[in-house]
Amino acid sequence: MTSKIQPVFIVGTGRCGSTMLSNMIRDHSGILSVSEFLVSVTDFAGRIAKTFPEGRPVDAHHVWDVLAGFHPRQTVMLRHGVEMDEMLYPLASTSRFTRQTGVPAILYVTLPHLTPDHDTLFDELHDYVMTFQPDLAFRQYVRVFEWLMARFGKQTWVERSGGSLRAVPRLAKSLPGARFIHIVRDGRDCAISMSKHTGFRMMMACTIMNQVLGYDPYETEERTGVEDLPDQFYHLLPEHFSSQAFANLDAPADLFGHYWSGEMMRGLKALDELSRDRVLTIHFEDILAQPEPCLRRMVEFIDPSLADGGWVRRAAGTIRPARSSWRALPAARQSALTDACAPGFQALSRYGFQRDPDAVPPSTPWFAGLRQKVRQATTLTKFVGVRPALALAKSRLRRAGTAAVSPV
Amino acid sequence: MTSKHFVTGGTGFVGSNLILELLGEPRTEIYALTRAAGQSAETRLKSALRHAARAAGHDEALDDAIAERCHAVEGDIHRENCGTSAGSFPRPDQFWHIAASLRYEDRYAAEIFKTNVEGTRNALALARSGGVGRHFNYVSTAYVSGSRMGVIHEEVGSGQSANNPYEASKMQAEALVHQSQDLGPRIFRPSIVIGHSITRGVSSGFSGLYGFIKRVLRLRQLLDRIQDGLASRAGLRVIADPAALLNLIPVDVVARQMVRISRSPSRAQVFHITNPTPPLAAEVSRVIFRELELPQPVMVEDSSGMNWIEQKVEEGLGFYKSYFRGTRLFERENSDWALGVSVPEPGYRLDSATVSEYVRWYTDVLRGTTDLLPVAEAAAA
């Protein structure tokens, strides 16, 4: 493993437009795009403890079991035909892996995202991983990324997984040099999208089942207290899973609005504890409105030597408008969803990242910075009062030093 | 003269406390139908009884009585003649059929009817084949009243509608027992049985009030899992009748009254083992929410204007909802006559401070088993 490369993770609450960035980065000549690694190997965040055992070295077999395992949530869903839209592995009857066999975690998205010859790559990766000596889990996964980076002739790598904002404390602690690009999208649009997304619906269903039962029914055969599960969740237990029950799962946007707020509150707090040069915050709406400055800023943050005007123009040309907007909802639902997202918006204001939803980003960096600072000061004062806002601003200036990265 | 009792459900919450109460009479022998599940029937029974004795505040002195005067009869109420024969135990003076399924969900209906109706049929057959000296005592539930409100009489009812398969199964089982007049049937109907009146302890079977507490607790954990602090910010509206009474009664009071009635000359056949001075359901829920550090719920009449979380809470309370809707007044004429009650029962007194103690006892148990932790943290603990 080379130690010169500073890991970069694109993080967000999920359904915030970050998949689009992975697809753009894949076409950059110098950056390896590692897509959906964290979400796949943790089986929708259900296997975080197993994937990243803290302070304990893991050997080659453990690493391969994480990368190539047939993880229970993904496998059950696959067998019932409810995989995520993002899945790239071809589920043909002639494929090496099928719905019946299950698909190794890293073959769901990560390897097919890089090459159509993903099965060969999978075998090569196996041979490489088997050479690993015991080491901390994160270091082992960084070895995998760096091997892939070399394999595809790139100079650096960027990992991006849906909903990985919650992983920031663990990533920052385990990889002290790690830096983060935080993609922020209006929580109301995120929540609507999550409520329709297979992966988020499964994650929410598992969260609810785990809390009702007090254990994870996808990781144990224990079934104590299963009578407490409401019917709709009973039919999502692995042994009773029904695609119809999954389709009927009542998980509305309001619920995900609360979830988005929670993720934002926790994620912003974690990012705020890092030095400013380790974090770049970009609003998804700004990427849509003014893609080129946003993409330039992103690449400069990843590695200034990889700035590439041609790539920026090509990537900007692939941007398509968002498919849904909270503004299309009836007024009562808009109001309920806005209420659910309010704590998240307040957190964004508190940390200086609230975006005026009607704003069009200015084109000059000087004006952008001034306008942003005025807006931050106004919103911060509105939510926390004048004195705390002044105190917070002073503290942030002290910590930022000379390395501040202005949010878009 | 030695009195002999045959008991089904002796390892359960009410059954084990009934046996402890029976053992208070020195010349009593207990024969308890017990399944051998993972260990011998004898070991299972005595372990459950010792555990119940500790929860009830008895010291080891009672263990000798358990060892010497309690005998397991291996069997299972799901099998014909309960999987045993009348020759495998002496003819009892009293036959106590307590074993039951406490599940109530539609999806378990077949299992509930198999245990509660067919199990009762098997218990009656066993009692009939061996004979019963005095009475066949069946422990039912006060909630066979189903959807009926107002004064509930001590009589085998008909025509009332059940709220769930559990209530329906107990109604059918009562009818079977009532038809068996040759066995001198008596039907005991406890209300919501809670822990011991002195220790607050429960040895097994955290259903009823405890199931409700656990559901509220899980709700709190779930809200906090979705968003830190959401549970403490989200004031909930719940549909409840402010005048509804929650008929809670401690397990030792239930056991004591059933045993005393069984020894009485009463010719009545149905006895409400209920609390004549129950607390308000709204007050109990206020105590539970306070103990679980949740904002006080707002009682409303219907679901109009409820948000998604409140609707889910409403659905999630399931079985327990009926506790909070409408008022049932359980008549106790037969029970009080048989008991000859003149001294107030201290266990009836369930003010807010006492209910807090019951709730705290249970939340302490949950803390001890990491159940109060979010799942991810509990897994790492």
Query: In a 10 Å sphere around its CB, with 0-12 CB exposed, 13-18 middle and 19+ buried, how is residue A302 labelled?
Result: buried
List CB contacts (< 8 A) between B367 and chain A.
none
Q: Residue B333 pLDDT > 80, yes or no?
A: yes
Q: Residue A408 pLDDT > 50, yes or no?
A: no
Q: What is the mean pLDDT of residues A78-98?
A: 94
pLDDT tens per residue, range A161-173: 999 999 999 999 9
pLDDT tens per residue, range B68-94: 999 999 999 999 999 998 889 999 999
Q: Residue A377 pLDDT > 70, yes or no?
A: no
Contact A214 B211 (CB under 8 A): no
List CB contacts (< 8 A) between A228 and chain B.
211, 214-215, 218
Q: What is the mean pLDDT of residues A347-375?
A: 62
pLDDT of residue A166: 92
pLDDT of residue A385: 55
Question: Is B371 an 8 Å CB contact of chain A?
Answer: yes
Q: Residue B62 pLDDT > 70, yes or no?
A: yes
Query: In a 10 Å sphere around its CB, with 0-12 CB exposed, 13-18 middle and 19+ buried, how is residue A156 labelled?
Result: buried
pLDDT of residue A399: 40
pLDDT tens per residue, range A320-345: 888 779 999 999 899 999 999 999 99
pLDDT of residue B304: 82
By Cβ distance, the residue of A49, A228, A258 closest to B215 is: A228
Q: State the average pLDDT for chain B.
A: 90
Q: Residue A374 pLDDT > 90, yes or no?
A: no
Residue B223, classed as helix, strand or coil, is helix
Q: Residue holding tokens 């964290």?
A: A38
ipTM score of complex: 0.71
List CB contacts (< 8 A) between B313 and chain A.
none
Contact residues for A54 (Cβ-Cβ < 8 A; gap 6+): none
- Name the pLDDT band for B324 (thresholds 50, 70, 90): confident
Domains detected in chain A: 1-408 (3.40.50.300)
Rounded to whole angstroms, the Cα distance separating A54 from B179 reads 65
Q: Which of the residue ranges A72-81, A219-228, B345-354 would you say has the lowest mean pLDDT?
A: A219-228
pLDDT of residue A406: 27
Gap from B228 CA to chain A (nearest CA, Å): 6
Q: Which of the residue ranges A25-34, A115-124, A384-393, B208-217 would you say has the lowest mean pLDDT?
A: A384-393
In words, the CATH class of domain B3-196+247-273 is: alpha beta
Interface size A-B, in CB pairs within 8 Å, comes to 66
Of all residues in chain A, the one with the smallest CA distance to B312 is A250
Residue B71, classed as helix, strand or coil, is strand
Gap from A264 CA to chain B (nearest CA, Å): 9
Q: State the average pLDDT for chain A.
A: 88
pLDDT of residue B369: 65
Rounded to whole angstroms, the Cα distance separating A347 from A355 reads 12
Question: Is B103 an 8 Å CB contact of chain A?
Answer: yes
By Cβ distance, the residue of A212, A215, A261 closest to B227 is: A261
pLDDT of residue B376: 38
Of all residues in chain A, the one with the smallest CA distance to B216 is A212
pLDDT of residue A360: 47
By Cβ distance, the residue of A49, A262, A266 closest to B379 is: A49
By Cβ distance, the residue of B227, B316, B380 closest to A258 is: B227
List CB contacts (< 8 A) between B310 and chain A.
none
Domain assignments of chain B as residue spans, ordered by start: 3-196+247-273, 209-246+278-326+350-370
pTM (two decimals):
0.79
Q: What is the mean pLDDT of residues A250-267?
A: 94
